[in-house]
Amino acid sequence: MEALTRKQHEIIDFLLNNQQEFSQPLSLDKLCAALGLKSRGSLHRIVQDLIEIGLIEPMDRKQRGVRLTEKARQINQTAGSQGSSLRYVGVIAAGKPIEAIETQEYMTVPDQIRTDNPCYVLRVKGDSMVEEGIHDGDWVIIEQRCHARNGEIVVALVDKTEATLKFIEQYPHETLLVPANSGMQTMHYQPARVEIQGVLVGQMRSYRR
């Protein structure tokens, strides 16, 4: 699956992780809603590409829903013995916001530290979250969503260009991005400047030097 695009991986991962939830194959409209996508047309093009490479069954008058092929299920069974393969997106700042660097790499992540919803992996750079046990060089597993409760640790995109990992506090007049480091200051923004890209659900660390 290394040749798949980001959106193709999201669709396959969602169907693999939720195939037991649906008694019937999902229609394009239902899949679009489940993934939080706005454009049915763009989803249709992605699905057609996945049909061409043999991961989704062709749809016709009898088979209108989106159904995984046996090839896709075998990929899931192979990965399931060690964990799920998640996108490794790049570096996230635990400090001053830096631009997130997107990659096309994938990492195997234990199922116990991810959720059934679409997730991705980021590498932490900086020490603004050390008092929460999140250190420079750690990998964090992020559940992809655009909302969070106050007090959750989020990936926040500031001014559509810079991403940072912080506690979030949201109020009508401002949004606070709060570090877990007593030596650093809380960042204050107008709400329109901050977009939530996901919520922290897991963490991994290597002790190799």
For the chain, what's the residue count? 209
For residues 165 and 89, the answer to whether their CB atoms sit within 8 Å is no
Which one-letter amino acid corresponds to residue 206? S
> Which residues are annotated as catalytic?
128, 166
Distance (Å) of CA 80 to CA 106, 141, 182, 186? 15, 17, 40, 40
Task: Give exposure, 187-203, as e/b (b: 16+ Cβ within 10 Å).
Answer: beeeeeebbbbbbbbbb
Alpha helix stretches (DSSP H) within 81-150: none
